[in-house]
Amino acid sequence: MKLSQRGEYAIQALLVLGMYHGPEVIRIKEIANQQNIPRRFLEQILNDLKSGGFVESRRGVSGGYRLERRPEEITLSEIVRHIEGPLESSDLAKESKKKLHLHSDEAAKYIINGVMHEVQTAIVGVLEAVTLFDLCEKVRKIQGQMDDQSDYII
């Protein structure tokens, strides 16, 4: 599974909001600079995320965005479905329900489609199990490891 640029940017923006989750808003300029996202594109993405119930905004000079829900309540599958569309392919589900006693070429296609359906189901399962909070924790861990590295000069 590959995310579009829009999908990657949406998750990156939500990660920033998740890392600083609280009552305060984060300015769009800060998110764009921190994640190296074009500001105009980020504005469109955040408006889309707002309509999807992921973020809320405050207008004005002290305006910005914040998560509408806690990071623990937002799954990666919700985000991806909202930005990218359905995760499940109805074609694979149809193909995997064919009857047995197929000719050799049909049997091969049937088996391949069945395996691909299992792969897709596993991907969806992982996306449903991972929350925005989980991603934030992984980022914190990586940042902590980088901060802990000592600088040796010889």
Task: Label each residue of the chain as H, E or C.
Answer: CCCCHHHHHHHHHHHHHHHCCCCCCECHHHHHHHHCCCHHHHHHHHHHHHHCCCEEEECCCCCEEEECCCHHHCEHHHHHHHHHCCCCCHHHHHHCCCCCCCCHHHHHHHHHHHHHHHHHHHHHHHHHHCEHHHHHHHHHHHHHHHHHCCCCCC
Mean pLDDT of 96-119: 76
Could you tell me which residues come within 8 angstroms of residue 112 by beta carbon, excluding any fewer than 6 positions away? Answer: none
Which residues lie below 8 Å from residue 12, measured CB to CB, with a gap of 6+?
35, 37
pLDDT, tens digit (0-9, with 9 covering 90-100), for 5-58: 999 999 999 999 999 999 999 999 999 999 999 999 999 999 999 999 999 999
- Domains identified in the chain and CATH numbers: 5-148 (1.10.10.10)
Rounded to whole angstroms, how far apart are CA atoms 77 and 34?
Answer: 24
Least confident segment among 36-45, 71-80, 88-97: 88-97
